Amino acid sequence: MHRFYLSLGSNLEPERHLRAALRELRARFGELQVSSAYESAAVGFDGPPFWNLAVSLRTDFSVEALNDWLHALEAREGRVRGARYADRTLDLDIVAIDGVALERPELREAFVLAPLSEIAPEIRVQRQNSTVGELWAGLQRARPGAPIRKLAMELLEDSEFPPSRK
């Protein structure tokens, strides 16, 4: 079993698509650790703001198998792959495994660091020789008032499916 950390995002009907993703993740993988949701401007293109959050789950899937499962979930939610910088119904990325971050350029962005540091600030980012929490703190110092806003969590909760908080 491995602990995977995912970054979830959407800027097209984000509440609907993120709720659906959380439901499917919980149905397939059981208990989840879920961050608050954050809103930030689209990066690299003009578009509606994104909602992002981080999720931790345990599974015996390989990285490849989990990535395939996540891509299938994106497709079920209407994701059309194409341009790197474009609107998304749902974007699901594996960003860390067992407490070690993958080499991903998004790990320099507030939309990944803020939610991930909320649930797992201790994740090691080897290339920067830092933790996610340290990188997020440094980004906040470097860009005070970074264009990211924590959303009220009830936007993603409902009585049928409240996200876990462990």
The pLDDT value given to residue 83: 67
Domain residue ranges of the chain, discontinuous segments joined by +: 2-151
Give the separation between CA 156 and CA 94, rounded to whole angstroms: 21
The pLDDT value given to residue 50: 93
Supply the pTM of this predicted model. Answer: 0.88
Given a cut of 90, is residue 104 above it in pLDDT? no
Tell me: the pLDDT tens digits for 109-153? 999 999 999 999 999 998 888 999 999 999 988 877 668 899 975
Band of residue 160 on the pLDDT scale cut at 50, 70, 90: very low
Tell me: the pLDDT tens digits for 38-89? 999 888 788 899 999 999 999 999 999 999 999 999 989 887 777 676 688 8
Q: Does domain 2-151 have CATH number 3.60.15.10?
A: no
The pLDDT value given to residue 78: 80
Give the separation between CA 41 and CA 68, rounded to whole angstroms: 28
The pLDDT value given to residue 2: 96
The pLDDT value given to residue 128: 83
Q: What is the CA radius of gyration of the chain?
A: 15
The pLDDT value given to residue 142: 87
Tell me: the pLDDT tens digits for 6-28? 999 999 999 999 999 999 999 99
CB 17 within 8 A of CB 77: yes
Give the separation between CA 131 and CA 1, rounded to whole angstroms: 23
E runs forming strands in 109-150: 124-125, 130-131, 148-150
